[in-house]
Structure 1
C-alpha cells in the first residue's frame, strides 16, 4: 500500500502543514522548505510513499515518490 503525505499552506498562509494520509496535520512549519524536508524524511522511512506539495490554492504543485 502506498503511503501519502501532503505539504500545504495553512488556511491563512502563515505557515505550512505536513499531513499524513490527509488526516489531522502532524506538525506546523514556518516555511515551505522545512515542511517539504520533513515530509520527505517521513516518506523515505515509510516507503513506498508519495509526497504531494500543494500551492496556496491547495492544488498539487509537485509530486515526489519514495
Structure 2
C-alpha cells in the first residue's frame, strides 16, 4: 500500500504532498489544493492511504483508496 501525506511547511505558508513521508513530491499554496492532488494520486495508485496533518503535524484525517 502506498502512503501519502499532506503536511504544511515550517511556516505553514505552503502544503506538501509526500510519498512514504520522504521528500515532498509537490508544493501547493493551499491545504485544499494539496489534499485534492494527494487524493487524485492515491486513486491512481490503489491501494493507497492519504494522511492529512494539521499545522502542528497531528493527524486530522486518514483516507484509504
TM-score range, shorter chain: over 0.9
Q: TM-score, normalised by structure 1?
A: 0.96
Partner of 1:58: 57
Partner of 1:27: 26
Partner of 2:5: 6
Q: TM-score, normalised by structure 2?
A: 0.97
Q: Does 1:15 align with 2:14?
A: yes
Q: Is there any run of 5+ residues in structure 1 with no aligned partner, and where?
A: none
The count of residues paired between Structure 1 and Structure 2 equals 65
**Cα drift, residue 20 of structure 1:** 0.4
Q: Superposition RMSD on alpha carbons, in Å?
A: 0.5
Structure 1 stretches of at least 4 aligned residues deviating more than 3 Å after TM superposition: none
Structure 2 counterpart SS, 1:38: helix
